[in-house]
């Protein structure tokens, strides 16, 4: 057995998990597996924040023995995750990918594709042994370089970036269709849905909107309206407000068909699939 493997067998590792989906069952199972192997696990449950948040992330990467990459389609598109991996490589940290959502092999970025990947999307009796063996095969993390490499800049949250792109004086057809594709994904995320719908409204009001973009937006609006009709349930009472999940509900004011609820009633309402702003609610 090679010396680096001997050095890591039985050693308690400080593992940093780089991820982009906090609602993944496989991610929680991966965390449980690492802790069962007596390793210390850290991952930030906030996916974005200010400079202090980012500084804390970078400090944890410097302190870790290994970076576990929770591979998913969302992670491959995450600017924060890309910067985390780049910084870990500059520090010489071992990287171990663990797939928590299905991803086509040809879509893996070049820094992940050559690495051994532990599959957590199809759990079986050997999964834990595969994780333990992969960890044991990793080389130990070297001492931190002196001086430390320049830390990467704090990533821009996806919706903030979309808002910046929407503020451009002119958008080509390709730019507009790319924005529609991004918004199509963001409205599927409960925490981002209301903001993404507002950005969609902003795009629809642009005077330079191409007909092809309008068609894409109209199709998206109709689909969201159909989903809203199917998902709309009785409006939450005051006693239920704290436990009621975010979503579209019948407008309690009666001025619109639906209203977005996110722990409290918001100014975002919907009529026949068109999102409107009703700040006087």
Domain assignments of the chain as residue spans, ordered by start: 3-137, 158-277
The C-alpha atoms of residue 146 and residue 164 are separated, in whole angstroms, by: 37
Instruction: Between 267 and 149, name the one with better pLDDT.
Output: 149
Q: State the pLDDT at residue 225.
A: 60
Q: State the pLDDT at residue 87.
A: 97
**Exposed/middle/buried for residue 90 (C-beta within 10 Å: 0-12, 13-18, 19+):** middle
User: Which of 66, 86, 71, 89 has its CA nearest to residue 155?
Assistant: 86
Rg (CA), the chain: 23
Model confidence at 12: pLDDT above 90:
no
Q: State the pLDDT at residue 25.
A: 84
Structural element, H or E, at residue 236: none
Q: State the pLDDT at residue 9.
A: 46
pLDDT digit string, tens, across residues 89-138: 999 999 999 999 888 888 899 999 999 899 998 888 899 899 999 999 99
Q: Work out the pLDDT band at 2, boundaries 50, 70, 90.
A: very low
pLDDT digit string, tens, across residues 256-280: 877 777 667 777 777 766 677 776 6
DSSP three-state, residue 17: strand
pLDDT digit string, tens, across residues 208-229: 989 888 888 888 877 766 555 4
Q: State the pLDDT at residue 91.
A: 98
CB 256 within 8 A of CB 271: yes
Q: Work out the pLDDT band at 237, boundaries 50, 70, 90.
A: low
Report CA-CA distances (Å) from 46 to 51, 54, 57, 60: 13, 10, 10, 14
74-78, 97-101, 141-145, 275-279: least confident range: 275-279
CATH number of 3-137: 3.40.50.10140
- For range 11-28, the mean pLDDT: 85
Q: Work out the pLDDT band at 54, boundaries 50, 70, 90.
A: very high
Neighbours of 82 (CB within 10 A): 17
């Amino acid at each position: 057995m090679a010396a680096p493997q001997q050095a890591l067998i039985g050693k308690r590792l400080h593992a940093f998990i780089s991820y982009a989906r906090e609602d993944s069952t496989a991610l929680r199972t991966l965390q449980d597996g690492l802790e069962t192997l007596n390793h210390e696990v850290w991952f930030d449950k906030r996916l974005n924040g200010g400079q202090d948040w980012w500084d804390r992330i970078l400090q944890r990467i410097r302190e870790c023995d290994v970076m576990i990459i929770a591979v998913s389609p969302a992670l491959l598109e995450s600017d924060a995750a890309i910067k985390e991996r780049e910084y870990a490589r500059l520090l010489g940290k071992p990287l171990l990918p663990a797939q928590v959502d299905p991803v086509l092999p040809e879509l893996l970025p070049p820094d992940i594709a050559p690495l051994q990947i532990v599959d957590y999307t199809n759990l079986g009796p050997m999964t834990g042994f595969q994780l333990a063996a992969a960890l044991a095969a990793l080389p130990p993390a070297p001492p931190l370089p002196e001086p430390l490499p320049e830390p990467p800049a704090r990533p821009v949250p996806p919706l903030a970036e979309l808002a910046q792109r929407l503020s451009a004086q002119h958008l080509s057809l390709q730019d507009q269709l790319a924005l529609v594709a991004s918004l199509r994904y963001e409205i599927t995320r409960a925490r981002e849905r209301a903001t993404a719908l507002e950005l969609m409204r902003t795009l629809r009001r642009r005077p330079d909107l191409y007909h092809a973009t309008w068609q894409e937006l109209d199709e998206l609006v109709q689909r969201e309206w159909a989903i809203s009709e199917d998902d709309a349930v009785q409006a939450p009472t005051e006693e239920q407000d704290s436990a009621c999940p975010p979503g579209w509900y019948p407008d309690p004011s009666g001025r619109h068909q639906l209203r977005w609820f996110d722990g409290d009633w918001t100014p975002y309402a919907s009529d026949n699939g068109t999102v409107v702003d009703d700040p006087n609610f």
